[in-house]
Amino acid sequence: MENGNGHESEPFEEDVSLDESEATQAVQVALNIRPLIPLERVQGCKECITVVPGEPQVQIGHHSFTFDYVFGSSATPLPAIFDKCVKPLVEGLFHGYNATVLAYGQTGSGKTYTMGTGYTVGGSTDGVIPQVMQTIFKRIETLKHKADFQLRVSFIEILKEEIHDLLDPNPPSTEYIFGGGLKALAVGKPPIQIRETTAGGITLMGVTEADVKSLEEMAAYLEHGSLCRATGSTNMNSHSSRSHAIFTITLEQRRKWDPLPDGGNPSLEDCNEDYLCAKLHLVDLAGSERAKRTGADGLRFKEGVHINRGLLALGNVISALGDEKKRREGGHVPYRDSKLTRLLQDSLGGNSRTVMIACVSPADVNGEESINTLKYANRARNIRNKPTVNRDPLAAEMQRMRQQLELMQAELLCARAGGPSNTEVQMLRQKVAWLEASNMELGRELEEARDRIDTLSQCALESQVERDKLRIKLDQLRSGKTFEELDEGLDVQTDDLLKEYVNRIQELEFELQQLQHARIPSDTSSRPPSSISSRSMGESTAGPGFGVAGIDGDIYLRPGEFSGDIDTELLLKEFKRTSVQEKFDKELREIDKRLEQKEAEIKLFVRPDATVLQQHFEKKLVELEEEKKYLQKLKQLKVQIAALKSKQEVWSEELRQQQCSDGSDKMNIEKVFVLDDFKDEPRELQIWSLTTGLKGFFQKQPFLKLCLLPASLACCCSLFWLRLQYNKKSRNMRGPSGASVNNRGARSRLQPNDTVT
Ligand SMILES: Nc1ncnc2c1ncn2[C@@H]1O[C@H](COP(=O)(O)OP(=O)(O)OP(=O)(O)O)[C@@H](O)[C@H]1O
């Protein structure tokens, strides 16, 4: 089905455009401006209503009115009135919403024409009602596989405050009365009465509701009622309606349920809306008229008075409903002032969706009447209705009972199974879900804690190994080993050994804890509370006999404390276990003690270690400086020694030649005393320097020592020999007085025949 947005929705499905959550919905007002009719043209009437282009707004004189829609004249063509204004209401009908289309206006303004109330079979179908009928049947045709539809129509008129059933197959006979008009002669059937249902709805008691199966049937009823409607000729309309006519279409629909594949029934949720009933009121009001213009007199005049009275009552209701202040204050709405307003109670301010079509003549002669109509219609825009879905009360009750039945069946099943009720099951399920979530969270936290413990244990183990390595180093240093030896000694095997050692300690501690835990129950069962522990006092009460004091200060039973019902065997076992534990404890205490000592020693060692190293390296530095000096000295000496060696060889050769040639002492002596090249130093110092330098050098350079030692020895020997020769020469050169001469003097005084041996 097509909604206002051009979208078709299925019946029983929620229609967004007709959302029940919308608390209120204003009465929609459409203005229909018919064209000038031939009579008006003949009279030379001019159009006095101007439509504002593109706006649902009209101007007449200096008055301006805005509506929801404007049709006719230069505005939207009239045929669009159905699609724009009425079709959404027909759609709502299939969703259970009541609707009302109300045509209001001056006599001869085109109400009947617009509504199509004067429909005749085969005639024009441009009116609203014929289009409604066509639309309904088209829609039913497309939906008949989903629901069963039932249509009923009723057609009444309110003539001079009397309700006439236009579809009554046995209408009351009428007789012409003097003065004009027809008088109804009631035969049998009681008059139609307006009743209000418990739900606040308005119904007509005794009205004919004709079931219709087809469009033709409905059209026939419409035609029949139209023909029965009271009409008359006035100066303004040759075929003027003298009554308010209401054509009502009632649509009932019951959803068809396809059998489920498993043969089961549809769920309760699906059955929520299996029945809907809605009514569409199509109202063609009698036109307001002025007797002066209509020329009505007699019966027509009386009709006109009633018509105007009814319309006045309607105007009052509209005014009351349109006044927001009165509405909020819950002010009185004079529905009961006329049958028309009473019948339209649902349509105006009720649960219906209502569209008012205000019909006006554009002729300037009708300007004043048109302004009144526009004012009237404009007030109706302020009316707010509360559309609601109409469900059959019986069906709703059945629905409620069906739900209750299902609930009770479920509870019965639970009761038979001995289980809790549905509510309890729900609560338990929620609790289980919460507990499961909580359990998962705790499990995750436990895993994280375990990981942390593993990491910390590993760190503790490595720390202990490191500490023990240091202790071992300390022991070895104390035993006289060097740092290099320590580094070589602590290999991987030592690490493993240390790890085993630490692990063993941990195992012992664990066993100790287990023994302590295992001991507590027997202790508490066999001892009075006052004698359980003296741990806090930190004292041991070991004594003779069976009485044993634990290393942690726990006191155990003594023989004198045995109670008569305590098994001796148990006590012996206890004693044995305690002894073992004591042994472990002692072992542990010794280990701890040793560890503490080692730690203290490490602290003592580690602190001065930097000072020792500093001293060590300073000493090394001094030694290296000395070595540097020795090496520089040695370099000089090497040069000198090389020079001496070469000279020595020359001199030796010369001396040998002199010895051979008898006497060349003078020359030899001169050559010998060339040794005075290092004459500036005292002889002892020269020798000391030489020997010390060589000694130091060769100490540092053992390889060179091997190479240069023979040369050095040879050099020293040469020097020594030269020295002896020099002394000998000196003694020979000394006079009888024994006075010594210096080297230079001696050289000058040497005789050529002197020899040096
Ligand atoms: N849209 C229109 N186009 C052409 N002619 C129209 C149109 N509307 C109305 N008319 C003509 O105007 C005349 C009066 O119309 P109609 O009978 O529908 O008026 P009315 O409001 O019902 O009058 P009343 O209240 O007296 O019954 C008719 O002859 C009708 O054919």
Q: How far is ligand 1, taken at its centre, from the CA of residue 239, in Å? A: 9
More confident residue, 295 or 368: 368
| Range with the poorest average pLDDT among 247-251, 464-468, 581-585, 664-668 | 664-668
Beta bridge partners of residue 165, listed in sequence order:
156
Quick check: CB of 296 below 6 Å from ligand 1? Answer: no
**Which residue is closest in CA terms to ligand 1's atom 12?**
110
Quick check: CB of 286 below 6 Å from ligand 1? Answer: yes
Whether the per-residue pLDDT at 521 is higher than 90: the answer is no
Q: Which of 13-17, 79-83, 598-602, 668-672 has the highest mean pLDDT?
A: 79-83
Rounded to an integer, what distance in angstroms lies between the CA atom of residue 118 and that of residue 224?
A: 10
Question: Ligand 1: which of 237, 293, 303, 359 to mutate, most ligand atoms within 8 Å of CB?
Answer: 237
**Which residue is closest in CA terms to ligand 1's atom 1?**
34
| Tokens read off for 719 | 């020097």
More confident residue, 754 or 55: 55
More confident residue, 153 or 727: 153
Taken in order 121, 124, 125, 130, the sign of the CA dihedral is negative
Mean pLDDT of 496-518: 71
Kindly report the number of other CB atoms within 10 A of residue 330's CB atom: 7
Percent of the chain with pLDDT over 90: 17
More confident residue, 456 or 689: 456
More confident residue, 146 or 272: 146
Quick check: CB of 73 below 6 Å from ligand 1? Answer: no
The CA-to-CA distance between both ends of the chain, in Å, stands at 153
Q: According to the model, what pLDDT value does residue 486 have? A: 64
Quick check: CB of 164 below 6 Å from ligand 1? Answer: no
Tally of residues, the chain:
757
Rounded to an integer, what distance in angstroms lies between the CA atom of residue 218 and that of residue 381?
A: 31
Q: How many helices (H) and strands (E) does the chain have?
A: 21, 20
Which atom of ligand 1 approaches the CA of 32 most closely?
A: 1
More confident residue, 149 or 752: 149
| Tokens read off for 190 | 């009681």
CATH fourth-level superfamily of 16-388: Kinesin motor domain (3.40.850.10)
Q: How far is ligand 1, taken at its centre, from the CA of residue 109, in Å? A: 5
Q: What are the backbone angles phi and psi of residue 183, rounded to the nearest 5°?
A: -110, 125
Q: According to the model, what pLDDT value does residue 526 have? A: 40
Rounded to an integer, what distance in angstroms lies between the CA atom of residue 152 and that of residue 757?
A: 171
Q: How far is ligand 1, taken at its centre, from the CA of residue 315, in Å? A: 22
Query: Amino acid identity of 605?
Result: F
Quick check: CB of 750 below 6 Å from ligand 1? Answer: no
Q: According to the model, what pLDDT value does residue 294 have? A: 66
Q: How far is ligand 1, taken at its centre, from the CA of residue 237, in Å? A: 8
Q: How far is ligand 1, taken at its centre, from the CA of residue 25, in Å? A: 30
Rounded to an integer, what distance in angstroms lies between the CA atom of residue 284 and that of residue 116?
A: 9
Share the mean pLDDT of the chain: 73
Query: Amino acid identity of 302?
Result: K
Kindly report the number of other CB atoms within 10 A of residue 553's CB atom: 15
Q: According to the model, what pLDDT value does residue 318 have? A: 87
More confident residue, 485 or 184: 485
Q: According to the model, what pLDDT value does residue 570 have? A: 60
Backbone region of residue 370 per phi and psi (left: phi > 0; alpha: psi in -120 to 50; beta: other values): alpha
Quick check: CB of 362 below 6 Å from ligand 1? Answer: no
Q: How far is ligand 1, taken at its centre, from the CA of residue 637, in Å? A: 150
Q: Are strands 352-360 and 98-105 parallel, antiparallel or unpaired?
A: parallel
Quick check: CB of 376 below 6 Å from ligand 1? Answer: no
Query: Amino acid identity of 698?
Result: F
Q: What are the backbone angles phi and psi of residue 385, rounded to the nearest 5°?
A: -105, 170
Q: Is 222 exposed, middle or buried (0-12, 13-18, 19+ CB in 10 A)?
A: buried
Q: How far is ligand 1, taken at its centre, from the CA of residue 46, in Å? A: 17
Q: Which residues contact 543 (CB under 8 A, 6 or more apart)?
A: 549, 558
Helix (H) or strand (E) segment spanning residue 328 = helix 324-328
Q: Which residues contact 650 (CB under 8 A, 6 or more apart)?
A: 671
* Angle at the Cα of 437 from the Cα atoms of 435 and 439, rounded to 5 degrees: 65
Quick check: CB of 237 below 6 Å from ligand 1? Answer: yes
Q: How confident is the model at residue 528 (pLDDT cuts 50, 70, 90)?
A: very low
Residue whose structure tokens are 């029945």? 275
> 757 vs 505, 655, 728, CA distance in Å?
87, 9, 8
| Tokens read off for 549 | 């004091």
> 672 vs 644, 648, 652, CA distance in Å?
11, 9, 10
Contact 353, 278 (CB under 8 A): no
Taken in order 508, 510, 511, 516, the sign of the CA dihedral is positive
Q: Kindly list the domain boundaries of the chain, sorted by start residue.
A: 16-388, 452-607, 623-749
Q: Which of 81-85, 233-237, 540-544, 730-734 has the highest mean pLDDT?
A: 81-85
**Which residue is closest in CA terms to ligand 1's atom 11?**
110
> 215 vs 129, 148, 221, CA distance in Å?
11, 16, 10
More confident residue, 235 or 556: 235
Quick check: CB of 387 below 6 Å from ligand 1? Answer: no
| Range with the poorest average pLDDT among 210-224, 261-275, 687-701 | 261-275
H helices of 479-553, in order, are: 483-489, 492-526
Whether the per-residue pLDDT at 447 is higher than 90: the answer is no
Q: What are the backbone angles phi and psi of residue 31, rounded to the nearest 5°?
A: -100, 130
Q: According to the model, what pLDDT value does residue 532 have? A: 35
Kindly report the number of other CB atoms within 10 A of residue 86's CB atom: 23
Backbone region of residue 471 per phi and psi (left: phi > 0; alpha: psi in -120 to 50; beta: other values): alpha
Q: Are strands 352-360 and 28-33 parallel, antiparallel or unpaired?
A: parallel
Task: Kindly calculate the radius of gyration of the chain based on its CA atoms and give it in whole angstroms.
Answer: 67
| Tokens read off for 168 | 């009554």
108 is in an annotated binding site: yes
Q: Which residues contact 265 (CB under 8 A, 6 or more apart)?
A: 257
Quick check: CB of 112 below 6 Å from ligand 1? Answer: yes
Contact 287, 307 (CB under 8 A): yes
Q: According to the model, what pLDDT value does residue 736 have? A: 42
* Angle at the Cα of 243 from the Cα atoms of 239 and 247, rounded to 5 degrees: 100
Quick check: CB of 115 below 6 Å from ligand 1? Answer: no
Q: How far is ligand 1, taken at its centre, from the CA of residue 128, in Å? A: 14
DSSP-derived secondary structure for 142-193: HHTTTEEEEEEEEEEEEETTEEEETT-SSPPEEEE-TTSSEEEE--SSPPPE
Question: In 3D, which of 204, 184, 183, 82 has the Cα closest to residue 133?
Answer: 82
Quick check: CB of 105 below 6 Å from ligand 1? Answer: yes
Rounded to an integer, what distance in angstroms lies between the CA atom of residue 177 and that of residue 183?
A: 6
Residue whose structure tokens are 């079931």? 211
Q: How confident is the model at residue 346 (pLDDT cuts 50, 70, 90)?
A: confident
Q: According to the model, what pLDDT value does residue 296 have? A: 66
DSSP-derived secondary structure for 559-596: GGG--TTS-HHHHHHHHHHHHHHHHHHHHHHHHHHHHH
Tens digit of each residue's pLDDT (9 = 90 or more) over 625-660? 888 888 888 888 888 888 888 887 888 888 778 766
Contact 401, 32 (CB under 8 A): no
Rounded to an integer, what distance in angstroms lies between the CA atom of residue 129 and that of residue 365?
A: 30
Taken in order 474, 475, 480, 483, the sign of the CA dihedral is negative
Contact 663, 756 (CB under 8 A): no
Which atom of ligand 1 approaches the CA of 103 most closely?
A: 21
Quick check: CB of 226 below 6 Å from ligand 1? Answer: no
SS3 assignment, position 254 = strand
Rounded to an integer, what distance in angstroms lies between the CA atom of residue 160 and that of residue 339?
A: 10
Rounded to an integer, what distance in angstroms lies between the CA atom of residue 407 and that of residue 293?
A: 70
Query: Amino acid identity of 191?
Result: P
Rounded to an integer, what distance in angstroms lies between the CA atom of residue 544 and that of residue 509?
A: 27
Q: What are the backbone angles phi and psi of residue 251, rounded to the nearest 5°?
A: -115, 120
Q: How far is ligand 1, taken at its centre, from the CA of residue 115, in Å? A: 10
Q: Which residues contact 682 (CB under 8 A, 6 or more apart)?
A: none
More confident residue, 314 or 294: 314
Question: Ligand 1: which of 32, 33, 36, 37 to mutate, most ligand atoms within 8 Å of CB?
Answer: 37
Question: Ligand 1: which of 81, 109, 113, 226 to mutate, most ligand atoms within 8 Å of CB?
Answer: 113
- Name the packing angle between helices 609-661 and 665-672 (round to 10°): 170
Q: How far is ligand 1, taken at its centre, from the CA of residue 231, in Å? A: 13
Quick check: CB of 235 below 6 Å from ligand 1? Answer: no
Q: According to the model, what pLDDT value does residue 79 have? A: 77
Rounded to an integer, what distance in angstroms lies between the CA atom of residue 94 and that of residue 136?
A: 9
